[in-house]
Amino acid sequence: MNAILKVISLLPALISAIKALEDAIPGAGRGEAKLAALREILSAADGTVAAIWPTIEKVVAVVVGLLNREGGFKKDA
């Protein structure tokens, strides 16, 4: 239950970070690099992130999928 509460409390920050990384490095095909950067950023901020990273990674995939489907990311012209 602690992992659930921690991930839910992180959700707004995760969404902001995902969008910021997408703005900084736009376009398809760079997801792995962005995910790795997100992990490094979170780990630098809080060393306990490694313990719940698999859950965070799944949440990020859900958020990115939703943003892709619902137009949350700017598409290349």
In a domain, 37, yes or no: yes
Domain count for the chain, please give it. 1
More confident residue, 72 or 29: 29
Q: pTM of the full predicted structure?
A: 0.84
Query: pLDDT tens digit string along 27-67?
Result: 788 999 999 999 999 999 999 889 999 999 999 999 999 99
Contacts by residues 25-29 (CB-CB < 8 Å, ≥ 24 positions apart): 26/73, 26/74, 26/76, 27/76, 28/76
In a domain, 77, yes or no: no
The confidence score (pLDDT) of residue 27 equals 79
Instruction: Using the structure block, give the residue that is written with the tokens 């950067």.
Output: 37
**pLDDT-based confidence at residue 77 (cuts at 50, 70, 90):** very low
In a domain, 76, yes or no: no
DSSP state at residue 72: -
In a domain, 60, yes or no: yes
In a domain, 23, yes or no: yes
In a domain, 74, yes or no: no
In a domain, 62, yes or no: yes
Domain encompassing residue 25: 2-69
Residue range 11-24: average pLDDT?
A: 94
